[in-house]
């Protein structure tokens, strides 16, 4: 017996899908136009700069991003070609390798970040009350918890 969505749920769901699609497209375009980075490049660089250490193991980075290793491998190969990241051999484990942020990578993300954050402010947080921000956090936490529990 299927539980179809009722009218309120349907509205919320379609709104969510539309919002994500359009917001993502907009942020992507702006970031790309301003710096040549994609949103995924940005994620990678943010994780690398978050780190206290300048080098990071691939597996560790993959876990932080919640990406498959293969995806990360492909993506880093492309970013390496553009000079944004580099690779170093891993001393203790000859299978592994370190990812490092290049000077150029650091420069590019530092230049790109302000405008990107400003866009997020403008399109999202400027539109929301404090209560709505909290509600959004509650919603995402709850759904993430459920996804996690369902394994």
- Interface residue with DNA among 54, 59, 83, 114 (CB under 7 A) is 59
Spatial separation of the C-alpha atoms in residues 62 and 111, rounded to whole Å = 24
**Residue 115 or 138 with smaller CB distance to DNA:** 115
Q: Give the DSSP letter of residue 99.
A: E
What is the separation of C-alpha 146 from the centre of its chain, rounded to a whole number of angstroms? 21
101: part of which helix (H) or strand (E)? strand 97-101
What lies within 8 Å, CB to CB, of 104 at 6+ separation is: 83, 84
Per CB under 8 A, residues contacting a copy of itself are: 2-5, 8-9, 11-13, 15-16, 18-23, 26, 66, 113-114, 117-118, 120-128, 130-147, 150
Tell me which of DNA, a copy of itself, none is bound by residue 59, counting a contact when its beta carbon lies within the kind-specific cut-off of 5 to 8 angstroms: DNA
- Interface residue with DNA among 77, 120, 135, 139 (CB under 7 A) is 77
DSSP three-state, residue 96: coil
What lies within 8 Å, CB to CB, of 133 at 6+ separation is: 125
- Interface residue with DNA among 10, 14, 26, 78 (CB under 7 A) is 78
Tell me which of DNA, a copy of itself, none is bound by residue 63, counting a contact when its beta carbon lies within the kind-specific cut-off of 5 to 8 angstroms: none
Task: Give me the least distance between CB of 98 and DNA, in Å please.
Answer: 7
Tell me which of DNA, a copy of itself, none is bound by residue 40, counting a contact when its beta carbon lies within the kind-specific cut-off of 5 to 8 angstroms: DNA
Residue 58 binds DNA (CB under 7 A): yes
- Interface residue with DNA among 46, 64, 90, 113 (CB under 7 A) is 90
Spatial separation of the C-alpha atoms in residues 26 and 21, rounded to whole Å = 9
Task: Give me the least distance between CB of 92 and a copy of itself, in Å please.
Answer: 31
Token couple for 107:
């420069």
Q: Encode burial over 105-122: b for 16+ CB neighbours within 10 A, e otherwise.
A: beebbeebbeebeebeee
């Amino acid at each position: 017996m299927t539980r179809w969505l009722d009218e309120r749920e349907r509205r919320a769901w379609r709104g969510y899908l539309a919002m994500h699609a359009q917001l993502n497209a907009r942020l992507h375009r702006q970031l790309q136009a301003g710096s040549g980075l994609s949103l995924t490049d940005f994620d990678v660089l943010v994780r690398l700069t978050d780190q206290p250490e300048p080098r990071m193991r691939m597996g560790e980075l993959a876990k932080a991003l919640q990406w498959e290793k293969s995806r990360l491998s492909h993506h880093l190969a492309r970013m390496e070609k553009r000079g944004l990241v580099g690779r170093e051999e891993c001393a203790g484990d000859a299978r592994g390798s370190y990812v490092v942020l290049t000077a150029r990578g650091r420069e590019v993300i530092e230049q790109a970040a302000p405008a990107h954050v400003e866009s997020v402010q403008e399109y999202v947080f400027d539109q929301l009350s404090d209560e709505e921000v909290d509600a959004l956090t509650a919603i995402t936490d709850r759904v993430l918890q459920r996804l996690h529990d369902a394994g």
